[in-house]
Structures are given as structure tokens and as C-alpha cells.
């Protein structure tokens, strides 16, 4: 798969991530914020299960070989979804996404630099730091006062 296709897919994923908090926050008005998170993950789990059953090539049995921390992604996702459900109605979607993106890029810069989780290290440099700092500034500008 080309880098352009991967970029386009991630762009589409970013659009989905920006839509999700507002949709979930709207549902939370009807069912509650924890319930909305639960429903969001239940629907997502059912959708992924269907995709895995139809097209999956791996093995769910591999879970027995996983280290405990490799199973924390779902918890972190649930935490993120719940926090966005609470934040979006109060600070707006753009500010919530701005803070999210700034935090993701900062964390990504650190993960890349040290090559944590066994991935290729990409050294920290001033250009990458400037990019993250500019995005942080942009995120701060999105907050209403």
C-alpha cells in the first residue's frame, strides 16, 4: 500500500475521530455519558467482530501470548471516548480535537524518538518539535474564553 493511500486512509480516520465525540455526546443526552461510551464500544465491537469473521486472517487465540499491557488499548480507547463525551458539549468539538491532536503528536514524538513498543526510532529534531509546538499553539487558539 502506498504512503499516499495510507495518508488518505488516516485522513479519513481523523474525520471519523472528529465526528465520533459529537455523535456520542448527542447520544449521551439521551442515555448518559457512561452509557453512551458503553454503547459506542458495543457497536464498535460488533462491527469489528463481523469484519474479523468475514475477512480476518489472524487468530484470536494469540491473546494467550499477549503481555498484560498489550491488552490495555481498549481501556485507553474507552477512557478517550468517555472524556470526549464529557468535554465536547462544554468546550466544543474543535477545542477537544485540538487538545487531542496536540497530545497525540507530543506523545508520538516521544514514542518515535525512543522507539518504544519495538518500533523504529525516529530521532527528535527541531523541525519535528516546531511542528508539535505550532499544533499546540493552534489547539490553544481553538479554546473559547
pLDDT tens across 52-82, in order? Answer: 999 988 888 999 999 999 999 999 999 999 9
pTM for the model: 0.81
Q: Which residues constitute the domain of residue 72?
A: 3-142
Task: Provide mean pLDDT across the span 18-47.
Answer: 95
Q: Which three cell numbers stand for residue 138?
A: 493552534
Which pLDDT belongs to residue 111?
93
Task: Tell me the DSSP string of 29-73.
Answer: HHH-HHHHHHHHHHHHHHHHHHHHHHH--S-GGGGGG--GGGG-H
Domains: count for the chain? 1
pLDDT tens across 33-57, in order? Answer: 999 999 999 999 999 999 999 998 8
Average of per-residue pLDDT values in the chain: 91
Amino acid at each position: 500500500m502506498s504512503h499516499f493511500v495510507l495518508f488518505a486512509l488516516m485522513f479519513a480516520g481523523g474525520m471519523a475521530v472528529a465526528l465520533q465525540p459529537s455523535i456520542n455526546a448527542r447520544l449521551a443526552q439521551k442515555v448518559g455519558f457512561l452509557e453512551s461510551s458503553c454503547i459506542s464500544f458495543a457497536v464498535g465491537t460488533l462491527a469489528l467482530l463481523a469484519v474479523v469473521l468475514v475477512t480476518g486472517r489472524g487468530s484470536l487465540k494469540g491473546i494467550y501470548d499477549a503481555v498484560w499491557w498489550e491488552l490495555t488499548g481498549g481501556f485507553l480507547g474507552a477512557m478517550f471516548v468517555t472524556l470526549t463525551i464529557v468535554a465536547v458539549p462544554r468546550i466544543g468539538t474543535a477545542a477537544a480535537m485540538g487538545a487531542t491532536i496536540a497530545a497525540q503528536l507530543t506523545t508520538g514524538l516521544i514514542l518515535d524518538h525512543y522507539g518504544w513498543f519495538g518500533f523504529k526510532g525516529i530521532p527528535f529534531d527541531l523541525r519535528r518539535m516546531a511542528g508539535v509546538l505550532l499544533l499546540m499553539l493552534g489547539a490553544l487558539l481553538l479554546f473559547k474564553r
